[in-house]
Amino acid sequence: MTTAAWRIGVIGGTFDPIHVGHLEAAEAARHALALDEIRVIPAHDPPHRSVDPHASGFHRFALISLAIAGLPGYRACDMELRRDGPSYTALTLRDLHAHGWRPPQIFFIIGADAFGDIASWHDYPAILDAAHFVVIARPGTTLEMVQARTPDLRPRVRYPRDGVPADGRTSIFLVEATTSAVSSTDLRARLASGAPIDGLVPPAVAQHIRAHHLYGATDDRHGQD
């Protein structure tokens, strides 16, 4: 059962693979808005990608589980992996509503670079009423830049210091944060070329990638004995 005071953070994406930038964005949102729980939800069929994920849903879910192991309040959620068809965020939010979460309790965490394209999302602009959106500054995309790209949404914009509206309206919260300049695309390229990924993913994630030869990686422990 949920309570009216409980706040759930949701961060979705392909996570192909998950990296420290994802975790830093989630932590920035959690601290800024006093979130009680963070659910990390990998997409089954990401609608904004023209090609399928490079790793299977099984491995991407495993990598997420390893990345958040030991982080209090974090949960890996497979609700999109279990749903057929495109992994639209709007459908995920509706599923959360069906499980008892009200829109004002849900805080969807997204990077400023991705939020700049929000008008192209399925069920826009109604999706903005389905949850609060927490926009995290990203290297190369400032909060000022994203506001310039979405001028029609300025009446919805708030900052964590403003607090959550008491009337139940959903808002767009802008969160200034310093996150690592890393992307899943760059990680895949580094792994395919044999370059190190130390510090870009949690150690357990790197170990799983190499052990299962994901993204062209090899297990560098082989042959050392």
Is 2 a residue whose pLDDT tops 90?
no
Q: Give the bridge partners for 201, in sequence order.
A: 198
Cα–Cα distances in angstroms (integers) from residue 124 to residues 22, 133, 154, in the given order: 24, 13, 16
| pLDDT tens-digit map of 48-75 | 776 789 999 999 999 999 999 999 999 9
Instruction: Say whether pTM exceeds 0.85.
Output: yes
Q: Give the bridge partners for 10, in sequence order.
A: 39, 108
pLDDT mean over 189-195: 95
Which pLDDT value is given to residue 224? Answer: 32
Mean pLDDT of the chain: 93
Is 39 a residue whose pLDDT tops 50?
yes
pLDDT mean over 35-46: 96
- % of the chain with per-residue pLDDT over 90: 91
User: Token digits for 192?
Assistant: 């395919």
* pLDDT range class, residue 156, cuts 50, 70, 90: very high
pLDDT mean over 205-215: 96
pLDDT mean over 139-158: 96
Determine which of 67-81, 110-124, 143-157, 211-225 has the lowest per-residue pLDDT on average: 211-225
Distance CA(141)–CA(144), nearest Å, equals 8
Q: Would you call 110 exposed, middle or buried from its count of C-beta atoms within 10 A (0-12, 13-18, 19+)?
A: buried
Domain chopping of the chain, boundaries: 8-216
| pLDDT tens-digit map of 83-130 | 999 999 999 999 999 999 999 999 999 999 999 999 999 999 999 999
pLDDT mean over 189-208: 96
| pLDDT tens-digit map of 165-181 | 999 999 999 999 999 99
Distance CA(150)–CA(142), nearest Å, equals 13
Give the fold, CATH level 3, of 8-216.
Rossmann fold (3.40.50)
Phi-psi region of 182 (alpha: psi -120 to 50; beta: other; left: phi over 0): beta
Report the amino acid identity of residue 131: A
- % of the chain with per-residue pLDDT over 70: 95
β strands within 103-194, DSSP E: 106-111, 132-136, 157-158, 172-175
* pLDDT range class, residue 222, cuts 50, 70, 90: very low
